[in-house]
Structure 1
Amino acid sequence: METDRPIPVIIDCDTGIDDALALLLAVRHPGLDLRAVTCVAGNTDVDGVVRNTLTVLEQAGAPEIPVARGAERPLIEAVRTARHVHGHDGMGDLGLPAPARTPADVDAVTLLRREILASPRPVTLIPTAPATNIALLLRTHPEVTRNIERIVFMGGAAAVGNATPVAEFNVWHDPEAAAILLTAGVPITMYGLDVFRRVIVPGPDVRRLRASAEPGTRLAGELLAHRGPATGETDPGGGLGDAGAVCAVADPEGLITHRLPVEVSLAPGPSRGQTIVDRRARPGESELHEGTREQPLVDVALDVDVARYVKLYLAAVER
């Protein structure tokens, strides 16, 4: 990759332990130009997300990147946080200091439109959260798609869910928004649970990061330690989670994707929020009897080079 021409990216997040890991990577990878961060309710309430995002950028020594507050609830559903995973403050209750930085004086949709259209090169959007802000952007300012290179979103699952047996949390939290995102009319990569769970930083590396005197590197170690797998290992590693989606932008060759039809189940009941990924080799009886329906084609991540992405992450955050 040409480090003199970094990829302009914008992260839309619900920071969150692994969103914080994603922000640390985006700030420190030489091949990425983080132009803005927008915040949405998800892992914790939106004001907590803004606070956590500013804290992470400060700890990382990031330049003055604009951060904007976005939607405080999904389009239709009530807010349903994941504090049981991410701690009361959404950041593992690490006791981090309050940030000195302040958010931008515009809302998330306004900031997204401004930064996308102002970018001299097409922007890659990396939503690592429920897609509420992105859906509102696409419905309010559809002209932004002319300067969006790709959307690489963390969400969905071709196989097993986590919020429900079939639905991943980000999509389940706001299914209507995810359905709008899939019809954006730009290339889309789905970095879902099929690969999300697999990228684990080994225990010795986590311990080395935690022992660092550099604040951003040490924060990465503390966050990874909080994301250790629930096993009996004496030296467990920590999952990169959302940061894998940023790895996929910085180094897409580490991801194996298949272009497949994907739709979001919006009906009430146990399938709501499921990303239905059609992996069949040929149409079935439904299509033969009822005809085919137009469905968006998405580059669905089904395999990942774990060692490659772990190496990429460690090299960037320890710079």
Structure 2
Amino acid sequence: MPVPVILDCDPGHDDAFNILLAAAHPAVELLALTTVAGNQTVEKTTLNARRVCEVAGIRGVPIAAGRDRPLRGGPDREPRVAADIHGGSGLDGPGFGEGEPDVPQDPRDALTLIRDTLLTHPAPVTLVPTGPLSNIATFLLAHPELTPRIERIVLMGGSTGRGNTTPAAEFNILCDPEAADIVFSSGLPITMIGLNATHQARATPEVVARIAALGTPLARLCVQLLTYFAGTYREVYGFDTPPLHDPLTVAHLIDPSLISLVRAAVSVELTGTHTRGATVVDLHGVTGRPANADVGMEVDVPGFWELVIDAVRVLGEPAEGPPDTP
């Protein structure tokens, strides 16, 4: 049976590929997309989710906007965005045009869509947040009675080592450390796919060439996304090839053997002068705290890219129409 999934995302170049993977693979039942402020404002991330779904022919998956700022935020605490990596639109590179996508935004807010989906789906649902954890933490606080309807949380965020936004903190966790602390303290089954794993999944020129060789409009868009992403990663971080972080979450659900996991206690630093937003991962059990997460470690990189490239191929193929009639 496919894994029922709600993607909570902030598209974002790597989020775009995660949406494609979740929609294309039969092992995943994509129930809903919710968006959050992160890589760009929530207005832009919601528009980007709709644009990706339009180009990829993804229909019938409701898309709802969520929080526009951190959980403990107020007028004096604006959301952090990653324009240096994802551009002013959050999805710079491709020419999407100025028109409205034909994929609508659901009139519900993200929390209501998550609630309705959990209540109506016959089986518990896996939440896959790949941006700041603001929506998920807010939902857990608002609806503790629905936690039995959540199978697990598989998130992209944090790291067992260094950060990427500060020396200690990864972007998604740093955007809303209090929300991350609530999620990791929830008692729900959590899988954390952090930078230590995602930095292994680089979009090399060989990978980009394989996608380009598919020759479809969707493949061309994906090449444009990866080309822009490669440029910003080279300029900001000095990486020769960009890592594709977020799709490792859905890839793990499709094929758990692609990423090795270790059980560990994960804490989120809330007050450190230089370490706020860091995920403190006790890999060696030195703190004595009970493990609360499965943490991604080693990635089968060729296997991961096979899934991603196949998703671009599947969604790029023309849909079968009705048979011709004389």
Query: How does the TM-score come out when normalised to structure 1?
Result: 0.89
Match of 2:107 among 105, 108, 112: 105
Q: Residue type matched to 2:4 in 1?
A: P
Alignment counterpart, residue 251 of structure 1, candidates 255, 262, 269: 255
Pick closer, same or farther for the CA change 1:208–1:253 going to 2, 3 Å: closer
Q: Percent identity?
A: 41
Following superposition, the deviation at residue 237 of structure 1 comes to 5.3
Shift in Å, 1:268: 4.6
Kindly indicate whether the alpha-carbon contact (under 8 Å) linking 2:59 and 2:103 is maintained by their aligned counterparts in 1.
no
Question: Shift in Å at residue 211 of structure 1?
Answer: 5.3
| Letter of the 1:252 counterpart | P
Residue 205 (structure 1) shift: 3.2
Aligned to 1:286: none
Report the count of equivalent residues.
302
1:257·1:299 contact (CA, 8 Å) conserved in 2?
A: yes
Structure 1 residue 118, shift from structure 2 partner: 1.4
Alignment match of 2:301 (pick from 291, 306, 314): 306
The CA distance in 2 between the partners of 1:237 and 1:317, in whole Å, is: 20
Distance in 2 (alpha carbons) for counterparts of 1:268 and 1:208: 44
Residues 281 and 266 of structure 1, relative CA distance in 2, 3 Å threshold? closer
* Match of residue 149 from structure 1: 151
SS of match in other structure, 2:307: helix
Amino acid at match of 1:26: A
- By how many angstroms is 1:217 displaced? 3.0
Q: Which amino acid aligns with 2:278?
A: Q
Aligned to 1:8: 4
**Aligned equivalents of 1:176 and 1:168: distance in 2?**
14
Deviation of 1:311 (Å)? 1.3
Query: Which whole-Å CA distance do the structure 1 matches of 2:83 and 2:91 have between them?
Result: 9
Residue 312 of structure 2 is matched in structure 1 by 317
Q: 1:195: how far off?
A: 0.7
Q: 1:22-77 CA deviation, whole Å, 9 max, x = no partner?
A: 11111111211110000000000000011000000111111221000100001134
Q: Deviations over 1:165-194 (max 9, x none)?
A: 110000000000001111222211000000
TM-score, normalised to structure 2, is 0.88
- Report if aligned partners of 1:24, 1:216 keep a CA contact under 8 Å in 2: no
Deviation at 1:281, TM superposition (A): 4.5
Q: Which residue of 2 aligns with 1:32?
A: 28
Distance in 1 separating the partners of 2:257 and 2:225 = 26
Letter of the aligned partner of 1:304 in structure 2? V
Whole-Å separation in 1 of the counterparts to 2:302 and 2:214: 22
- Residues 301, 208 of structure 1: CA spacing in aligned structure 2 closer, same or farther, 3 A cutoff? closer
Rounded to whole Å, the distance in 1 between the matches of 2:108 and 2:78 is 24
By how many angstroms is 1:203 displaced? 1.4
Determine helix, strand or coil for the equivalent of 2:234.
Answer: coil
> CA separation in 2, counterparts of 1:218 and 1:144?
41
State how 1:98-247 maps to structure 2 within 5 Å.
98=99, 99-210=101-212, 212-228=214-230, 230=234, 238-247=242-251
Cα distance change, pair 205–278 in 1 and its aligned pair in 2 (3 A): closer
Can you list the C-alpha shifts for 1:213-270, whole angstroms capped at 9, x where unaligned? 4333332222222232529xxxx75532211111111111111111000110010521
Corresponding position: 1:91 with 2:91: yes
Does the 8 A contact of 1:206 with 1:238 survive in 2? Answer: no
List runs of 5+ in structure 1 lacking aligned partners.
284-291
SS of match in other structure, 2:46: helix
Question: SS where residue 244 of structure 1 aligns?
Answer: helix
**CA–CA separation in structure 1 for the residues paired with 2:187 and 2:78:** 28
Counterpart CA distance in 1 for 2:286 and 2:58 is 49
Unaligned runs of 5+ in 2: 315-326
For 2:278 and 2:312, the matched residues in 1 are separated by 33
Report if aligned partners of 1:61, 1:216 keep a CA contact under 8 Å in 2.
Answer: no
Instruction: Report the Cα offset of residue 212 of structure 1.
Output: 4.2
Amino acid aligned to 1:302: M
Given that 1:21 and 1:223 are in contact with CA atoms closer than 8 Å, whether structure 2 keeps it comes out as no
2:324 corresponding residue in structure 1: none
Structure 1's 41 and 150: CA in aligned 2 closer, same or farther, altered over 3 A? Answer: same
Q: Does the 8 Å contact 1:24/1:220 carry over to 2?
A: no
* Aligned-residue RMSD, C-alpha: 1.8
Measure how far apart 1:296 and its partner are.
5.3
Contact 2:93–2:224 under 8 Å retained in 1: no
